[in-house]
Amino acid sequence: MDNQKRNRLLAVLFVGVLMAALDIAIVGPALPTIRDYFGVDDRAVTWLFTIYVFFNLIGTPLMAKLSDSWGRRSVYLADIILFAVGSFMVAAAPSFTVVLIGRSIQGLGSGGIFPVASAVIGDTFPREKRGSALGLIGAVFGVAFMIGPILGGVLLLAHWRWLFAINLPIALVVLVLASPLLPGQPASNRRPFDWAGMLILALMLSFLTYGLTQIDSTRFWASMAGLRVWPSLALALLLLPPLIFLERRAADPVLDLRLFASRQLSLASLLSFGAGLGESSIVFIPALAVAAFAVTDSTASFLLMPVVLAWAVGAPISGRMLDKLGSKAVIVSGAGLLTIGILLLSFFPQSWPIFFAAGVLIGLGMSALLGAPIRYIMLNEAPIEERAAAQAVITMFTGVGQLTSAALVGAVAASFGGGVVGYSSAYGVIGLVAIIMILLALGLKSRAAELATLAQQETPSENSRIAIESLQ
């Protein structure tokens, strides 16, 4: 594939990932309107997010594994179609139940868009350009959080349904442009799909997601003892041994446990969990601003701009640095910047200059953790025929980290009485997590060892050779 065609492919992947990412950020301004339109309460309307995240987590391993077996093109296009169908259902929904069904279908489709796009980059871009390409894709999330609320507010002036209808022409453009560009046929050594493992994994993620989202951070221990939380978390834990049993014996496991035999891949998974914790904690910055500076809620939401701007700018830069310095240097630097920014919020929460500086450091730190660097490790280390499945592991660990962080930050803040003391204490805990991430990142391969691994990829095994030829 020549450079011009690769650039067109990257642009199409960028638009597809941006469409899915925007659908999280764009919905926020419409929640009160949708709640009032259908006459539901505040707890019910939060399911617009919860059910999307839930099916996104399930769709991620399913779609990723299917793309490894059936080919990137067919699965990526199927994901876009599912996302469009879900968007249409929400836009035309006569009831709130149909809205939730549409959001479920959206989440299922979006679950495969990012990991499959990352795997496509590994399949089609030379090793010296993978980091830059992943960096551009990683910038999507900063862009989405930056323009999502604004775009949502503009479309809301017409009708809340336009927030979802806008996805239809975008999806059509992606389908038309992506079809001739994406790599096509799957490997010829296709094996039976691991439906038993997929079912157990889906159930485990279901119980885990429900349990974590039902935790009331203002009544943490009381809610943990409630029937909505601990039974779900216990069932998720009990399903882990049967999942391991099934995956060790599956011919083509949906979650290949051999990935975790590599120290590099195990560290990448733990780092993605920590990055998810850090990312979700950003949501509480406006609450800290309200308590520290007595600003209104609407003003406080704009105080996230230093974070998202730094993220959008930093993601492509960190991608280019990956190609020059390697993943260890970029991730250690990112974890260091995140640690400094989080601890500044913890120790100096009532200083405007430090507040803004902390936001920039957090944004730059997240841009060097989420998106390109950890996915770069997975592309380099995972077998070629398992690339998308390995990307799904990163997405799942990040998602679980995000869900855990929401409960953790809220619980610590509430236990210290809320307000400035509560949120600054919560950020102190996240700062400790960030320090642990630095220590984990120091255990990653050096650039020399990473290049040696990449060189081995260029002389692949017979199975890998068949997979490569099928993707040409």
pTM of the model: 0.84
- How long a stretch of residues is the chain? 472
Query: Which residue reads 């910055």 in tokens?
Result: 285
Domains 1-182 and 255-472 share a fold: yes
Could you give the CA distance from residue 295 to residue 301 in angstroms, rounded to a whole number?
10
DSSP 8-state secondary structure symbol assigned to residue 261: G
Class of domain 1-182: mainly alpha
Torsion over CA: 73, 315, 22, 412 (sign): positive
pLDDT in tens, the chain (472 residues): 677 888 889 889 988 888 888 887 777 777 788 888 999 887 788 788 888 888 988 999 999 888 888 888 899 999 999 999 999 999 999 999 999 999 999 999 998 898 888 888 888 888 888 888 888 887 887 777 777 777 777 788 888 899 899 999 999 999 999 888 888 765 556 678 888 999 999 999 889 888 887 887 667 778 888 888 899 999 999 999 999 999 999 888 988 888 888 899 899 999 999 998 888 888 788 888 888 998 887 677 778 889 888 988 898 899 899 889 999 999 999 999 999 999 999 999 899 999 999 999 999 999 888 878 888 898 888 888 788 888 888 888 988 888 888 778 877 887 788 788 988 998 999 999 999 999 999 999 998 998 888 777 655 444 444 444 444 4
Could you give the CA distance from residue 212 to residue 220 in angstroms, rounded to a whole number?
11
DSSP 8-state secondary structure symbol assigned to residue 472: -
**Alpha carbon distances (Å) from 274 to 44, 354, 374:** 29, 24, 11
CA trace torsion 282, 162, 168, 49 (10° rounding): 30
Could you give the CA distance from residue 471 to residue 71 in angstroms, rounded to a whole number?
8
Could you give the CA distance from residue 8 to residue 22 in angstroms, rounded to a whole number?
21
Determine whether domain 255-472 maps to CATH 3.40.50.720. no
* Residue-range domain boundaries for the chain: 1-182, 195-249, 255-472
Q: How far apart are the first and last CA of the chain?
A: 8
CB 19 within 8 A of CB 81: no
CB 468 within 8 A of CB 383: no
